[in-house]
Amino acid sequence: MLNKCMIIGNLGADPEMRYTANGSAVTTFRVATSRRFSGQDGQQREETEWFSVVTWNRLAEICAQYLVKGRTVYVEGRMQTRSWDDQATGTKRYRTELIAEEVKFLGGRDGAASGGGGFAPGMAVGADSEGDIDPDELPF
């Protein structure tokens, strides 16, 4: 089976980084993608879709350091849905997230390159795979 997602869009807010109880860095951010199309009336329309992105370990630290609201990024990864019980209402909640395996910094708002931190626009950053793969999960 294949579970792969690739998006290009702009960050809607600065990323948020935290550490798990075992010390792993996790950074989350939202990316807006846009699609232009002609409506039934012939008028041009634009539709925006928001993706919740999650990065882990070294990739999380790099994204937290260099990404800012409005920055254009390419994100590649897999979609994952998690669930939890809302403590306030007692209902089961769901959230679908893009678990990033690669993030490429493309530029700032309106496609302009953002300066900063020695990462050139277009630089790709991949997930640190060391220790992330459980040999029991390999299909061969």
pLDDT tens for the chain, 140 residues: list them.
Answer: 999 999 999 999 999 999 999 999 999 999 999 999 998 899 999 999 999 999 999 999 999 999 999 999 999 999 999 999 999 999 999 999 999 999 999 975 544 444 444 444 455 566 554 444 444 544 44
Question: Is 139 part of any domain?
Answer: no
Question: Is 23 part of any domain?
Answer: yes
Question: Is 40 part of any domain?
Answer: no
The model scores a pTM over 0.85: no
Q: Which domain holds residue 101?
A: 5-35+45-129
Question: Is 18 part of any domain?
Answer: yes
**Any idea what the CATH number is for the domain that residue 66 is in?**
2.40.50.140
Confidence (pLDDT) at 117 = 42
Confidence (pLDDT) at 18 = 97
Please state the domain count of the chain.
1
Instruction: Please provide the DSSP assignment of 31-66 as one string.
Output: EEEEEEEE-TTS-EEEEEEEEEEEEEHHHHHHHHHH
Question: Is 138 part of any domain?
Answer: no
